[in-house]
Copies of this chain bind each other. A is one copy, B any other.
Amino acid sequence: MQTRKTFQKSLTLEAVRELKSHPTADEVYNFVSKQYPEISRATVYRNLNYLCETGSVYRVRVADGADHFDYKTTPHYHFRCSSCGRVTDVAMPYMENLNAQCETANGASVTEHQVFFSGSCSDCKKQNQ
Query: How far, in whole Å, are A60 and B81 apart by their CA atoms in the complex?
Result: 17
Copies of this protein chain in the complex:
2
* A115–B90 CB distance below 8 A: no
A residues contacting B by CB (< 8 A) are 59, 61-63, 77, 79, 81-82, 88, 90-92, 98-99, 101-102, 105-122, 125
* B102–A92 CB distance below 8 A: yes
* B125–A106 CB distance below 8 A: no
* B113–A115 CB distance below 8 A: yes
Chain B residues, Cβ within 8 Å of A114: 63, 115-116
* B102–A77 CB distance below 8 A: yes
Please indicate which of the listed interface residues A82, A92, A99 has the most CB atoms of chain B within 10 Å of its own CB.
A92
